[in-house]
Amino acid sequence: MLRSRSQFFSGVAPDTRPVREIVAEPPPSLQFHGGMADADQAPTIEGRTAHAKHGNAEFAEIECQRRKEAKAAGIDIGSFVVPSPPMQPFATEFPVKRFDNRAAFPSEVFAWLRGMRSSRILSSTVQRELEDENVHLIAGSGEELRVRELTQEGVRVAVGFQHDMPDDQGRTWRTEAVLRRGAIDAEQDVIRFRTQCLAKRPGAFLESPKKPFLIKALLKEGWGGIDGEIEVLDEPLWLEDDDEDVALAELILDGEASRWLPIIYVSATEGDRWLLTKDEIEKLAYDLGGVAHVVVEPNRQFSFRLKASCDGRNVYNGTLGIAMPHRGFIRRFFLGIRFPDVASIVGDIRAAAVGLRGFMPSVGWDWTEMQEHVLRNQRVALRGSLSESAADELFDDYNKQLNDLQEENRWLKEQRHSQAVTEIAAEERDPTTEGVFQGVIKEIYAGEMADRIRLAARTALTVAESNGIDGRSVAVWEGIVERVPRSTGLDELLADLERATKDPKRMANEVTAVLQRHGYHGKSENRHIRLEPDDGYHGLQNITVPKTPGEIRGLKNQRKQIERTLGISKLP
C-alpha cells in the first residue's frame, strides 16, 4: 500500500556533474537571523530585543530604557549584553535512495557550498583535493570544511562532512551531515543532518538555526527514500477518496505509516476545502521537507469514512494534527482561543514538527559517531605498525571511555525525546473538547463539547445570584461565555439540515445522510425511516423521518424537531 508522491528515481549519478544553478544561499548572518537587513552590521539593541524570548525581551527593554536615561543625564554606563534565548540545534534524518557512485553525495555538498554567496572554501581548491577520503580545507575567513569517507573491505559504509562558517557577530554556524549505508533497510541509505549556532566570544547572541538549503537541494534532485508508506518529498501527499487511502489514513492514526518523520495531517472542511489554502499547504510541505510529511484529505466524505472505521479517533472538520511514529496523533490544531487565525496555526505546527524531529531517537550517525567508526577502522590499519598489545590497550581504553559517554548521551537523548513529546502533547489541553474534556463523550460534530459547556455557563449565570454562587465561579463562567467561540461545526450541521429539508422528494435520503455523519444509523420501516444513535452517543434519542413528507411547512417543522432532538436549537 506504499504511496509515493513522485515516480521512484533510479539510476547512477555520473562521475562528474556540473555545478547546478541553485538559488544562492544567504550568508549565515542573514540566513539564520531572520530579520537583519545588513549582514555586516552587528545586531542593535532593538534588533536583539525583537529576537529575545523567554524573559529576555523584558530584560532588554528595561536595559534599553536605563541606557537612554543615563545618556540623557550625561552618564556613560558602558555596554551590556542581552542574554541569549535557549538555543536548540536543528536535527533531522530520513531515508534516501541508494547511489552506488561514491561521488554523488560529495558533489551535492560542493554544489551547495558553491551556491552559498559567503562561502570561499572551494574558490582555490583543486579537484584532486576533493577526491581524497579525508578532506580538510580552511579559508582565510576561518571557514572550514571536513569531509570523511569510511570504507570497509572496499565497500563504502558512510560519508559525511562538517562545515563551519563564522560570522561577524562572534558566532560559528556549523552544519554536519552523514550519509550511512543501509542503516535499517538494505535497499536504502539514511542521512542525518545537524546544524547549530556556536558562540566564539563571550556575549555572542545565539539563535536556533533553520533547515539547511542542502536538504531542499537533495529532495529536489530526487534523493528522498521511502519512509514506511510515504515517500520523503517537499510537497504534500494528496490522498484520494478510495479504500486504499482510507487504510493509509488509519495507519497514520495508529502511528504505523512512517518510521522516521512525523506526519502533519490536514483534514477537510465542508465543500471539500481545508482550513489552509492549497498554496499554504504546499508552502508548509516545502518548508518541512525532510522534517515531516504533510498528508491532506480529499474531502469531507473521506473524513466520515475514516471516522466510521476508526471509532471517531481521527482529526476532522479542518483540524490539523501531528502524528508521531509508533504513537499516532499527539497534538491537534484548530481555530479557537489558542489559535485565533490560520497564521498562528501554521507557525505553531511548523515549530512543533521541527522540535519533535530534533528530539526523536536517531538511527543515522552524527559527525562524532562517524569519527568514532573511522578511528576504529584506523585501529585495524595500525595493527601492523604497533604491537598488538599496545594497540589493544590504547584503543580499548579509549573505547571504554567513549562507550560510557555514548551510553550517557543516548540516555539523555531518550529523556529529551520523551520530554519533548510530552510537553508538546500537553499543549493539547484547551478549554474546549480538544483538551481536558476530550474523551468524555463522543461528539456529534466538532466542537460540540465547547458549545454545551458555554450553554451550561450561560444558564448558570442566570441563577448564580439566587443560588449564592461565589464571585470567582461567576467570573469563570463569564469568561467562558465571552471567550469560548461558537464552533463552526455547529453552524455547518445547522446548514446541512436546512439544505436537507428543502426538497420534499429528496428530504428522507438527504436527512438520513446528514444524520449518519453525526452519530446515527438508519433502519427503514415501511413509510418511515427510523434513525437510532450509534454506540457511545449517549443522550441522543431516536429520530423518525417520513419518506413522503407533506407541505413546505411540514419540512420546516421536521427540521426544527430534529434540532430539538439533537439538542442544538438552544445552543448560543
What is the pLDDT at residue 129? 59
Note the helical H segments in 84-143.
Answer: 104-114, 127-130
At 363, list the grid cell. 538511527
Q: Is 271 exposed, middle or buried (0-12, 13-18, 19+ CB in 10 A)?
A: exposed
Type of residue numbered 382: L
How far are the Cα atoms of 203, 318, 432, 476, 486 from residue 483, in angstroms, in the given order? 42, 21, 11, 10, 9
Decide the pairing of beta strands 293-296 and 263-266.
parallel
DSSP string over 457-488: HHHHHHTTTTTT--HHHHHHHHHHHHHSPPPH
Residues 6+ apart with CB under 8 A from 102: 149, 156, 159
User: Strand pairing partners for 348?
Assistant: none
Q: What is the pLDDT of residue 330?
A: 87
| Dihedral pair phi/psi, residue 146, rounded to 5° | -120, 130
The pLDDT assigned to 391 comes to: 60
Residues 218, 121 contacting (CB under 8 angstroms): no
The type of residue at 338 is R
What pLDDT score was predicted for residue 24? 33
Q: What CA–CA distance (Å, rounded) separates 542 from 523?
A: 11
Handedness of CA 448, 284, 206, 45 (dihedral sign): negative
Residue 133 cell numbers, joined: 577520503
Helix (H) / strand (E) element for 82: namely none
Of 562, 557, 556, 560, the C-alpha closest to 544 is 562
Phi, psi (rounded to 5 degrees) for 489:
-65, -35
Cβ atoms 196, 174 nearer than 8 A: yes
CA atoms within 13 A on the CB side of 407: 6
* pLDDT (tens place) for every residue of the chain, 572 residues total: 565 554 333 333 333 333 333 333 333 333 333 333 333 333 333 333 333 333 444 444 544 555 555 556 554 444 434 344 445 789 999 999 987 787 889 899 999 998 888 888 887 665 555 666 678 888 888 899 999 888 877 778 899 999 999 998 889 999 999 999 876 666 899 999 999 998 888 888 888 888 999 999 999 999 999 999 999 999 999 999 999 999 999 999 999 999 999 999 999 987 788 999 999 999 999 999 999 999 999 998 898 889 888 877 888 888 899 999 988 998 888 877 678 889 999 999 999 999 888 888 788 888 888 888 777 777 666 656 656 665 666 566 566 556 656 655 655 555 555 555 555 555 554 444 444 555 677 888 878 888 899 999 999 999 999 999 999 999 999 998 888 888 877 887 888 888 888 888 888 888 888 888 788 887 766 678 888 888 888 889 898 888 776 555 678 888 888 899 999 988 88
The DSSP code sequence of 68-88 is HHHHHTT-------PPPPPP-
Residues with Cβ within 8 Å of residue 326, at least 6 apart in sequence: 255, 256
The Cα–Cα gap between 422 and 426 comes to 6
